[in-house]
Amino acid sequence: MSDAAVGRMASPLGWPGDPTAHRPGSAGRPSPLGWPWSRTTPIPDTIDPTVSEPEQSAGAEPGAQSESGSETEEALMVDAGPQGGSPDGAATDASHRRIREVLDAATVSRETAPDPVSRETDDDLPIAIEARRAVAVLNPSGEAMPRPPATRIMCVANQKGGVGKTTSTVNLAVALALHGSRVLVVDLDPQGNASTGLGVDHHAGIPSIYDVLIEGVPLADVAAPVEGVPGLLCVPATIDLAGAEIELVSVVARETRLRRAIEAYDGDLDYVLIDCPPSLGLLTVNALVAAREVLIPIQCEYYALEGLGQLLRNVDLVKAHLNNDVEVTTILLTMYDGRTKLADQVAAEVREHFKDIVLSTVIPRSVRVSEAPGYGQSVMTYDPGSRGATSYLSAAREIAVRGAKEAAAT
């Protein structure tokens, strides 16, 4: 390839064709950075300190400036070489002088440089922190949380919609199962969100909780294993359940259908988590009758506490007439947004009112939590290193530890 062809080619870094054309100080033009050298100017290997200033500046007036008086243009004149009319020797002298000036002007700092060695260890890097969180969540070493002496049946209820009932059911169930507990999730909402979140098939017509409540099919026949989470089963809900509220009205012992199904379940379970619909109808009543514990997720938002009184009254009614054992044992604050004062106010008010049944763990509002169901996963498996996953893990641990303490105290 000819030199001319090489010259026309653009460089891979985007330099224009002629590799010499726009080099600093080339072609008799000053570089924007003020480089004094040109292709025609020999670069001195060393500066002879014995050469005196007048000698160095021979051929150029000390401090001589161009017409415009700018230093850059001085370099231009020198740089121009034969075209500019200056001899090469003068250019060299001018360069020496400039370097000398720069060296003389330079003040040497006696300050020691800041410690160049980072004291940060690899363990402090964000990726390492996230990896540690993921390991804690996925628990490859099989560390177990305390398991209850008897099955804990928890109804996750709040008639207010969208407060995090399903998200909490799914993620707490996965967290408990990943830490050695055997867990059954009962999806009692015709929307079937818990089934979706656990990646369990729930299209119309498949065996589901509807068959259990209306047809008396055993729970074990409809419980499906959750992929990737050993020890976790899910009884799915299909759209068929939408009609169950009305159909149940004429069924014998309509409020205790779920309770009987759970009592008849033969497997060894540590937890049954029931995800309720956002209503206080017969489905929720079935859950309250079946459960010993009620877990109420409360969203850290303005209307969070409205309607809670009605839920508590319903729990009292069920307790008085249908299930003496049921108690509100756990309140979980969800979708906490630390940037708002409102979230703090709601959290403080809930804690003041419900005291120590409120878990100290608060679930933050997090995009990862809301993305996970789209992949048929809990946030625990979708992004185990995220804050949402860590928070649900810590809430699950609190639930397990509190349960164990209470069991030990009785």
By the criterion CB under 5 A, which residues form the site for Mg ion? 165-166, 193
Count of CB atoms situated within 10 Å of the CB of 131: 14
In sequence order, the 6+-apart residues with CB closer than 8 A to the CB of 63 are none
Minimum gap (Å) between residue 188 Cβ and ligand ATP: 10
Nearest residue (CB) to ligand ATP, 84 versus 307: 307
User: Nearest 5 degrees, angle CA 161-CA 182-CA 299?
Assistant: 20
Q: Are 160 and 232 in contact (CB under 8 A)?
A: no
Minimum gap (Å) between residue 273 Cβ and ligand ATP: 12
In sequence order, the 6+-apart residues with CB closer than 8 A to the CB of 126 are none
Integer Cα distance of 145 and 372 in angstroms: 24
Nearest residue (CB) to ligand ATP, 181 versus 377: 377
Nearest residue (CB) to ligand ATP, 251 versus 312: 312
163 binds, among ligand ATP, Mg ion, none (CB under 5 to 8 A by kind): ligand ATP
Alpha helices in 164-307 (DSSP H): 165-178, 193-197, 209-210, 219-222, 244-249, 257-263, 282-290
Q: Are 28 and 76 in contact (CB under 8 A)?
A: yes
Minimum gap (Å) between residue 388 Cβ and Mg ion: 17
196 binds, among ligand ATP, Mg ion, none (CB under 5 to 8 A by kind): none
Minimum gap (Å) between residue 252 Cβ and Mg ion: 28
Nearest residue (CB) to Mg ion, 165 versus 202: 165
Bridge partners, residue 152, by sequence: 271
Minimum gap (Å) between residue 365 Cβ and ligand ATP: 4
* 10 half-sphere exposure, CB direction, 13 A CA radius: 5
133 binds, among ligand ATP, Mg ion, none (CB under 5 to 8 A by kind): none
257 binds, among Mg ion, ligand ATP, none (CB under 5 to 8 A by kind): none
Q: Are 139 and 178 in contact (CB under 8 A)?
A: yes
Q: Residue with the closest Cβ to Mg ion? A: 166
Nearest residue (CB) to ligand ATP, 163 versus 290: 163
Residue 232, classified by CB atoms within 10 Å of its CB into exposed (0-12), middle (13-18) or buried (19+), is buried
386 binds, among Mg ion, ligand ATP, none (CB under 5 to 8 A by kind): none
Minimum gap (Å) between residue 380 Cβ and Mg ion: 17
Residues in the chain: 410
Integer Cα distance of 365 and 334 in angstroms: 7
Minimum gap (Å) between residue 162 Cβ and Mg ion: 8
Phi-psi map region of 69: left, alpha, beta (phi>0 left; psi -120 to 50 alpha): left
164 binds, among Mg ion, ligand ATP, none (CB under 5 to 8 A by kind): ligand ATP
366 binds, among Mg ion, ligand ATP, none (CB under 5 to 8 A by kind): ligand ATP
Minimum gap (Å) between residue 279 Cβ and ligand ATP: 9
Least Cα distance to 183 among 156, 157, 212, 153 occurs for: 153
359 binds, among Mg ion, ligand ATP, none (CB under 5 to 8 A by kind): none
291 binds, among Mg ion, ligand ATP, none (CB under 5 to 8 A by kind): none
Nearest residue (CB) to ligand ATP, 231 versus 277: 277
Alpha helices in 106-156 (DSSP H): 126-138
Count of CB atoms situated within 10 Å of the CB of 294: 27
Q: Which amino acid is at 74?
A: E
Minimum gap (Å) between residue 171 Cβ and ligand ATP: 9
Report the interface residues with ligand ATP, using CB under 6 A: 161-167, 189, 193, 278, 334-335, 363, 365-366, 369-370, 373, 388
